[in-house]
Every structure is written in C-alpha cells, then in structure tokens.
C-alpha cells in the first residue's frame, strides 16, 4: 500500500504566544459606572442657572421667595419673629468667625495628611476659598430686576455666601475622606449645612433660593476639583481595605454628628413650634434639597481614588495574578 500523507488537520502547527487577556471588570462598587465628575459638574451648574433664572428673573419665582420668607410686619425687614432667632444669630456669628473657618480648613488638611491625600486637601482648601469668592462675585454681578412683585425687593442676595462656604467645607472633607467613610460624613454634614442655611433665612439675611444656589455652586466646584484630581491620578481606583479609613472617617464625622443631634433634638421641635408656615416650609425644603444634593455628590466621587500617587502600590492585589499583559481574577 502507498504511504498516506497526513491531512491538514493532523499537521503540527507552530506554537504561538496566546493573546494577552484583558483585565476583568472589577468587582464591587467599581463594577457599575458612575456619572463622571465633569458631567455631574455640568448638571449642578445647570441647576444653579435654572434656580437663578427662575427666582431672580421671573415674577412667579420672586413671588414664591416672598411667600416662603415674608417680610416682618414691623420694620419691613425679613427677620422672622421666632424664639430661634437668637440661636440662629449665634450660629452665623460662630460660623462667620475667621478663627473657626481657619480651624475647619486646617481640619481638611489634617485629614488629608492622615489619609495620605494631602494634594486633595490642598485642592479642597482652594475650592472653599474659590467658592466664597465666586459667590461674592455672583452677588455683585447678578441683577434682580424690579418685576412689580410686592413681597420682593431689587436687592440681590443670590447665592448665599455663608451657605456656599458651609457646603464647600463639607465637600472638601468628602474629597479628603476615604471612599468608605464619605457617607459617614455626608449625611450629618448636610444637616450642619442645613442649620447654617436655616439660620440665614430666620435672620432675614437670605432667601430660600439663595441657600439652594449656594449648595449647587459648592457641588459644581467640588465635582470640578474631583475631575482635576482624578485626571492627575490617571483615574486610579482604591483597592482592598483602606487602612485607617474607618478611623479617619469617624474623626471627620464627629462634628457632623453633633450638629445632626442638635438639629434633631433642639432645632426641629422649636422650629415647628415657633416658626410661621412660610419660613417653616422654606427651611424644610432647603434641608431636603441640601441632603439630596450632598448625597448625590457621592456618586461622581464613588469610583475616584484621590490618594497621593506615592501611596499606591504597584504589586497586584491579593486574590489576583498577572499573566502576560493582562490581569486575571482568581
């Protein structure tokens, strides 16, 4: 019999290197995409513009501001007749003290050092100072026209500088906080910002729209700061357990928890009992919007690691092995 040549299927094929495997999507929170910081900043800026346009430049908006915070019967001012007027003035006096503000900014830097996020702390401080400056410029540039609304004046107070500073300080703490500790700071911190906002309304310093505009402005600048930091970090992600994260988060949450307990145990019962329906609705609405905005800021920050570059390790995580140019989950 003649020799049978092997078919093409039986010929030995030259060995070739396997193609590099692509990294598998990370598990946990990072497996789901979040709103990019720049996109979130655009949304908050749009909200700021809409709030400004409605409450400054429309009759309905000016009238609503007047209904929520009516003028006092005597004197023509917006200072509300309530037993909480004295505490509200005290809150603004304490928060407006430069020593207190410097101490809070120092706290941002301290948490940045403890959490190995010094650059984020510096950016947070610059963000706070920038937010206050932008709020001051906006109040001097924006015009509140006379639309023949009886309960309104042409004096522009949008946005509130005090509320902008309070919200920006809270978000600066969020920038330097470990990812898992941010929620511990956000909710009680939002309560503290709400206390400052309520104080500005009860004392007649600002309208409800001014407070909302201040929180939106701070959220816009926070997301812009996060985008800058994330770009510098090449969109690095936190892996594993952030050592000291819980301790740093607890340290940062302590002042906010005190403010939250004070709001629940002291402010709210007195507010309901002694404040007229209009201002009460204004305070409750601003409080709800403040909490919602602050909590929503956590979404664009959720997958962003703001630690200093020197704190990242090049070794693979436990439970992972590298093969070729890719990474495989075990």
Among 104, 79, 134, smallest CA distance to 279 is for: 79
Residue 246, burial from CB neighbour count under 10 angstroms (0-12, 13-18, 19+): middle
**Distance from C-alpha of 301 to C-alpha of 182, rounded to nearest angstrom:** 9
Tell me what the mean pLDDT of segment 216-230 comes to. 92
Whole-angstrom CA distances from 100 to 45, 169, 202, 228, 261 are: 29, 12, 22, 28, 20
Instruction: Determine the Cα angle at 230 with ends 228 and 236, to 5°.
Output: 165
- Which secondary-structure segment (H or E) carries 62? helix 59-68
**Distance from C-alpha of 43 to C-alpha of 63, rounded to nearest angstrom:** 26
User: Which tokens sit at 145?
Assistant: 């026209």
CA 231 to chain CA centroid, Å, is: 18
**Distance from C-alpha of 254 to C-alpha of 139, rounded to nearest angstrom:** 33
Instruction: Determine the Cα angle at 38 with ends 35 and 39, to 5°.
Output: 50
**Distance from C-alpha of 318 to C-alpha of 330, rounded to nearest angstrom:** 9
**Res 98 pLDDT > 70:** yes
- Helix/strand/coil for 77: coil
The band of 206, judged by pLDDT with boundaries at 50, 70 and 90, is very high
Please tell me the least confidently modeled range out of 7-21, 231-245, 275-289: 231-245
Tell me the sheet residues that pair with 327. 322
CB count, 10 Å around CB of 265? 9
The band of 31, judged by pLDDT with boundaries at 50, 70 and 90, is very low
pLDDT digit string (tens) for 124-176? 999 999 999 999 999 999 999 999 998 888 889 999 999 999 999 999 999 99
pLDDT digit string (tens) for 305-318? 566 554 444 444 44
Q: What is the pTM of this model?
A: 0.77
């Amino acid at each position: 019999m003649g020799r049978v040549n092997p078919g093409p299927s039986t010929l030995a094929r030259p060995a070739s290197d396997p193609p590099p495997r692509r990294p598998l999507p990370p598990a946990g929170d990072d497996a789901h995409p979040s709103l990019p910081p720049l996109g979130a900043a655009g949304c908050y800026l749009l909200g700021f513009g809409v709030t400004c346009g409605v409450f400054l430049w429309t009759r309905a908006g000016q009238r609503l501001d007047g209904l929520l915070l009516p003028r006092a019967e005597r004197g023509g001012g917006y200072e509300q007749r309530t037993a909480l007027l004295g505490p509200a003035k005290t809150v603004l006096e304490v928060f407006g003290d430069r020593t207190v503000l410097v101490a809070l900014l120092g706290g941002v830097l301290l948490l940045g050092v403890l959490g190995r996020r010094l650059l984020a702390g510096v950016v947070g401080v610059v963000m706070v100072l920038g937010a206050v400056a932008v709020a001051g410029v906006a109040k001097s540039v924006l015009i509140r026209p006379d639309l023949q609304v009886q309960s309104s004046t042409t004096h522009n107070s949008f946005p509130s500088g005090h509320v902008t500073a309070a919200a920006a300080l809270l978000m600066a703490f969020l920038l330097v906080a470990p990812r898992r500790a941010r929620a511990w700071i956000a909710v009680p911190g939002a309560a503290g910002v709400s206390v400052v906002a309520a104080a500005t309304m009860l004392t007649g310093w600002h309208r409800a729209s001014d407070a909302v505009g201040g929180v939106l402005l701070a959220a816009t600048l926070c997301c812009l700061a996060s985008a800058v930091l994330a770009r510098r970090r090449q969109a690095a992600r936190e892996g594993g357990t952030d050592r000291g994260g819980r301790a740093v988060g607890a340290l940062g949450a302590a002042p906010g928890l005190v403010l939250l307990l004070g709001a629940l145990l002291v402010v709210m019962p007195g507010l309901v009992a002694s404040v007229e329906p209009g201002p009460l609705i204004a305070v409750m609405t601003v409080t709800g919007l403040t909490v919602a905005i602050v909590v929503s800021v956590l979404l664009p920050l959720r997958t962003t690691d703001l630690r200093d570059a020197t704190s990242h390790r090049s070794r693979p995580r436990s439970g992972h092995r590298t093969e070729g140019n890719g990474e495989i989950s075990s």
